[in-house]
């Protein structure tokens, strides 16, 4: 077995041992033919009733409430697994982003509420 393949296998083992179930499911989907449904099932645990995402999906902050940044992180994963626009999860996050867009057409990168929860030093 060549060194690159050995390194790849070693990386996969480390991921499965060391990271959140969401990243494991993403690894399995991307590199091992794992099911998209597993990624979506785990991703759903990060979605709030308002359609946005929170609960530390974006590892830099653990705000449980929905935020545009956390919802962006979730949307990137939805694109990664080619989730269709017909999925309720996709429709809900789009609705959330439409409701929270500011008059400038942008969203706040960081909400003040982030300061009450563990977060990166920005």
What are the residue ranges spanned by the domains of the chain? 36-116
Q: What is the pTM of this model?
A: 0.91
Is residue 70 a contact partner of residue 77, using CB atoms and an 8 Å limit? no
pLDDT in tens, 2-29: 999 999 999 999 999 999 999 999 999 9
Q: What is the rounded distance in angstroms from the CA atom of residue 84 to the CA atom of residue 10?
A: 33
Q: What is the rounded distance in angstroms from the CA atom of residue 69 to the CA atom of residue 107?
A: 8
Q: What is the rounded distance in angstroms from the CA atom of residue 21 to the CA atom of residue 4?
A: 25
Q: Residue 13 belongs to what H/E stretch?
A: helix 3-18
Query: CB neighbours of 64 closer than 8 A, spacing ≥ 6?
Result: 48, 54, 55, 56, 117
CA angle, residues 100, 106, 112, in degrees to nearest 5: 65
Please identify which residue in the block is written with the tokens 């429709």.
91
pLDDT in tens, 26-84: 999 999 999 999 999 999 999 999 999 999 999 888 999 999 999 999 999 999 999 99
């Amino acid at each position: 077995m060549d060194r690159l393949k050995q390194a790849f296998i070693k990386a996969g083992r480390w991921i499965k041992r060391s990271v959140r179930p969401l990243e494991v499911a993403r690894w399995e989907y991307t590199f091992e033919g794992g099911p998209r449904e597993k990624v979506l099932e785990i991703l759903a645990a990060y979605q709030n009733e308002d359609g946005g995402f929170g609960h530390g999906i974006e590892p830099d902050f653990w705000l449980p409430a929905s935020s545009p940044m956390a919802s962006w992180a979730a949307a990137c994963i939805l694109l990664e697994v080619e989730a269709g626009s017909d999925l309720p999860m996709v429709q809900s996050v789009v609705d959330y982003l439409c409701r929270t867009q500011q008059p400038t057409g942008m969203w706040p990168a960081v909400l003040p509420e982030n300061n009450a929860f563990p977060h990166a030093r920005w």
